[in-house]
Amino acid sequence: MTLGEAIGIVAPYYNFALAIIAVLLFLRLFSYELKRFAYIKPWKILFIGFLLFIVETIMTILRGLGLIKFHGAIFPLFEMVVITLFIYMLLLQRQYIKTGKKD
């Protein structure tokens, strides 16, 4: 087994562990009373995209273990949705900076 193959096997597990830490940080961010002072909607949209990333990571782990097989087009679909949510988040933030209005 080469180093690249070994990293390819353990990388989804590390991604999942770091994603759980990031989810805890997101939940802590949403628990603060910042809603009066900060525009939090873009962060909520980013959180939805991040949850999709976690689902994709779990699916990758299950596929690596040989428990479930998925169609090859499902992972690019997840990536497209995550990128679309990220672009929407950026556009919301840009609108808020220009107008100062929360929607």
pLDDT in tens, 31-45: 877 666 778 888 899
Q: Which of 14-28, 30-44, 78-92 has the highest mean pLDDT?
A: 78-92
Phi, psi (degrees; rounded to nearest 5) at 67: -80, -40
CB contact at 8 A, 95 and 47? no
Q: What sign has the CA pseudo-torsion 15, 20, 22, 26?
A: positive
Per-residue pLDDT, 72: 79
How many alpha carbons fall within 13 Å on the CB side of residue 46? 17
Q: Is 21 exposed, middle or buried (0-12, 13-18, 19+ CB in 10 A)?
A: exposed
